[in-house]
Amino acid sequence: MREIVLDTETTGFEPESGDRIVEIGAVELVNHVVTGEVYHQYINPERSMPQGAFEVHGLGDDFLRGFPTFKEIGQAFLDFIGDAKLVIHNAAFDMKFLNAELEWMGLARLPADRAVDTLAIARSKFPGSPASLDALCRRFGVDNAARTKHGALLDSEILAEVYLELIGGRQPGLTLAATGRRDAGDEAWRPRPRPAPLAPRITDAERAAHEAFVASLGDAPLWRRT
């Protein structure tokens, strides 16, 4: 199963008001394992970056002017994602911008059901708790120390780790429930030895057959040598 963990950076909040995508970062997962294949692209938004966005993105007009527009890279982006599910934090926001840019190119929109929204998963799994990407990094112990500025590729790499934790770790479905009187916050907990050994399940006939087989191997098997 192929999935693409995706993030975008934009000039603002509403494509209908003229805001555009300025960066796309995407990380490929296959069977919930990061493959190392990524897509990263800065984009010329063909408009000025709002003053407040400079601090968020660390990007400026002069920097972005040297990159292609979305219509120049849109098909390459679609080729990379293929028909994979798109794993996005607050998917409605990114999908809104991607579909606006695709429509302006004359291309088909991405169906809403292609998006897996990690924000919705987190809110369902931890109701009432903070569900921002930073909050989830703290919850799962994901290192986000490099996240001093928003960046689409870095955020995608971090989100990939968070997503795997949200669905149960790198092998979803194998999470074991705690049993006994273990305190979930007690890191010193260790399983106690069984008070009495289990009774052997081998029958007398099976034991006799085994002993006869061993005897047939001769008088000097390797395990009897000293």
Per-residue pLDDT tens over the stretch 19-31: 999 999 999 999 9
Task: Say if pTM beats, i.e. exceeds, 0.75.
Answer: no
Per-residue pLDDT tens digits for 187-205:
555 666 767 777 777 888 8
CATH number of 109's domain? 3.30.420.10
Residue 60 confidence (pLDDT) above 80: no
The answer to whether residue 82 is domain-embedded is: yes
Domain that holds residue 15: 2-166
The answer to whether residue 45 is domain-embedded is: yes
The catalytic residue among 32, 57, 89, 150 is: 150
Average pLDDT of the residues in 35-55: 84
152-166 and 133-140 helices, crossing angle to 10°? 50
The answer to whether residue 192 is domain-embedded is: no
Check if 150 is active-site. yes
Q: How many CA atoms lie within 13 A of 120 on its CB side?
A: 9
Average pLDDT of the residues in 164-190: 57
The answer to whether residue 187 is domain-embedded is: no
The answer to whether residue 71 is domain-embedded is: yes
Least confident segment among 11-15, 36-40, 52-56, 78-82: 52-56
Residue 148's pLDDT band (cuts 50, 70, 90): low
The answer to whether residue 218 is domain-embedded is: no
Number of domains making up the chain: 1
